[in-house]
Structure 1
Amino acid sequence: MKRNLLIFGLALALAGLALFQHDRIDRNSSVYAAGRQELKVASPVPAFTLKGLDGGEYKVGGARDKPLMVNFWASWCGPCREEAPALKQVYDRYKGQFDLYAVNVTRGDELEAVKRFVNQAQFSFPVLLDTSGEAADAYRLLFVPTSFLIDRQGRLKEVIHVLPPDQLEDKIKRLIAS
C-alpha cells in the first residue's frame, strides 16, 4: 500500500513538473515570437550585419542604392547546388543593377565545405556567414534555399525558392524596375 502511494505521489509530481515546463516553454516561445518582426510583402525587412567570406561586413535593412536579393543556402543542400548556376548567371548579367548576398546558414554547415561550394559555383557576389543563425531566425527561415527580394527602400517584395533560370531572371528584372 505504501509503495503504491509512493509511486502515485511520484507520478503526480512528475506530471506537475511536465505541466510547469510546458507552460514555461509556451510563454517563452510567445515572447520570442512576439519580439520578432513579422515578414510581410511591402513591409521593411529585418536588419542584420554579417561578415563575408572576403572579410567585409555587409548590412541588410533600410534604404539602399540598389535592390537586393538575399539568398539563404547551405553547402549540403541539393536544391542549393541546383540553384547556384542560375544565381551566378543572373548576377553576372545584372550585377550593376542589383545586389545579391548569399547567406550561408553556417550554424548548420562546415566552413571548409562552404568555401569548396563557393569555389565550385564560382560565385562573384558576396557570401555572408550566419554563424549564430540570427539572420535566418529573423527571416523565419524554414528551409534552404529561400530568397528574399528587397526593394531600394528596404521593403520585402517577394519570397522565392528554386526557380528555372528564365523565371529567376524575370523576377530580378521586376525587382530592378521596382
Structure 2
Amino acid sequence: MKRNAVIVAIVVLLAVAAFVQNGKSDNKETSAPAKVGPRPGMISPSFTLPDLEGKPYQFGGERSKPVILNFWASWCGPCKAEVPDLIELYGKYGDKVDLVAINITSQDSEKSARAFAKEYGINFPVLLDVPGDVTASYKFMVVPTSFLVGKDGVVREMVNVLPKEEWEKKIKDLIRDK
C-alpha cells in the first residue's frame, strides 16, 4: 500500500514538474525578441551594405524621406513580376520616398544579381547582402518581402508582392504618414 502511494506521489510530482517546465519554455519562446525581426511599430535595424559599384550605403535612424526596403533574389519569380511596377512607381514617387533593393546575395549570386538589375533597368539603389547578416536581422520567410519604414526609422508595414495599384496606395500612405 505504501509502495503504491509513493509511486503515485512520484508520478504526480513528475507531472507537475513537466507542466511547470513546459509553461516556462512556452513563455520564453513567445517573448524572445531574437526570434522576431522588425514588425510594425519597431525600429528598423541599421546596416551598411555595398551597392553595385561597391560604394557603402548606410541605413538607419531618422531620414529626410520614408523608405521601402525590398528584399529580393534573381531566381525569384514573384521578384521578376514585381520589379517593373517598382521601377515605374519609383520614377513617379522617387522624390518623396526612397526605394532600396537588397539582394539576398547569400542565397543568390552577385553575378546573377548584377545581371537582373541590368536586364530590368533598376533605377534605384541595389545593395548586395553577401554575408546575409542584414537579411538575417530582418527575419522574414518569403521572397520578395518589403519593409515600409517611416522617416523616423520605425517600420510601418511589411508586405510581399502587391499589384501596382496597391503598391501606389501604400506609397501614398507612407508619404502622408507623419
TM-score range for the pair, normalised by the shorter chain length: 0.7 to 0.9
In 1, distance between residues paired with 2:120 and 2:103? 14
Moved over 6 A (4+): none
Counterpart of 2:81 in 1: which secondary structure?
helix
Partner of 1:158: 157
In 2, distance between residues paired with 1:130 and 1:152? 23
Counterpart of 2:147 in 1: which secondary structure?
strand
In 2, distance between residues paired with 1:131 and 1:104? 8
Partner of 1:117: 116
How far residue 143 of structure 1 moved from its aligned partner, in angstroms, is 2.0
How far residue 37 of structure 1 moved from its aligned partner, in angstroms, is 6.7
How far residue 113 of structure 1 moved from its aligned partner, in angstroms, is 1.2
Partner of 1:173: 172
How far residue 39 of structure 1 moved from its aligned partner, in angstroms, is 1.9
Counterpart of 2:146 in 1: which secondary structure?
strand
1:61-76 paired onto structure 2 within 5 Å: 61-76=60-75
Are 1:100 and 1:125, in contact at CA under 8 Å, matched by a contact in 2? Answer: yes
TM-score between both structures, scaled by the size of structure 2: 0.78
Amino acid corresponding to residue 90 of structure 2 in structure 1 = Y
Report the aligned-residue RMSD.
Answer: 1.7
Partner of 2:4: none
How far residue 47 of structure 1 moved from its aligned partner, in angstroms, is 1.0
Counterpart of 2:58 in 1: which secondary structure?
strand
Aligned residues: 148
How far residue 38 of structure 1 moved from its aligned partner, in angstroms, is 4.7
* Gapped regions of structure 1 (runs ≥ 5): 1-29
In 2, distance between residues paired with 1:156 and 1:41? 5
Q: Are 2:81 and 1:86 equivalent residues in the alignment?
A: no
In 2, distance between residues paired with 1:105 and 1:44? 21
In 2, distance between residues paired with 1:161 and 1:38? 15
Are 2:39 and 2:158, in contact at CA under 8 Å, matched by a contact in 1? Answer: no
Counterpart of 2:41 in 1: which secondary structure?
coil
Are 2:37 and 2:140, in contact at CA under 8 Å, matched by a contact in 1? Answer: no
In structure 2, relative to structure 1, the CA distance for the partners of 1:38 and 1:104 (3 Å cut) is closer
What do residues 82-105 of structure 1 show as CA deviations (whole Å, max 9, x unaligned)?
A: 001011011010111111110000
Counting aligned pairs with the same residue, the percent is 41
In structure 2, relative to structure 1, the CA distance for the partners of 1:82 and 1:153 (3 Å cut) is same
Q: Report the structure number with the largest CA radius of gyration.
A: 2
1:18-97 paired onto structure 2 within 5 Å: 34-35=33-34, 38-97=37-96
In 2, distance between residues paired with 1:107 and 1:148? 19
Q: Are 2:129 and 1:130 equivalent residues in the alignment?
A: yes
Partner of 1:25: none
Are 1:80 and 1:144, in contact at CA under 8 Å, matched by a contact in 2? Answer: yes
Are 2:49 and 2:127, in contact at CA under 8 Å, matched by a contact in 1? Answer: yes
How far residue 111 of structure 1 moved from its aligned partner, in angstroms, is 1.5
Amino acid corresponding to residue 165 of structure 2 in structure 1 = D
What do residues 122-176 of structure 1 show as CA deviations (whole Å, max 9, x unaligned)?
A: 1010000001111111100212100000000000000011100011011001111
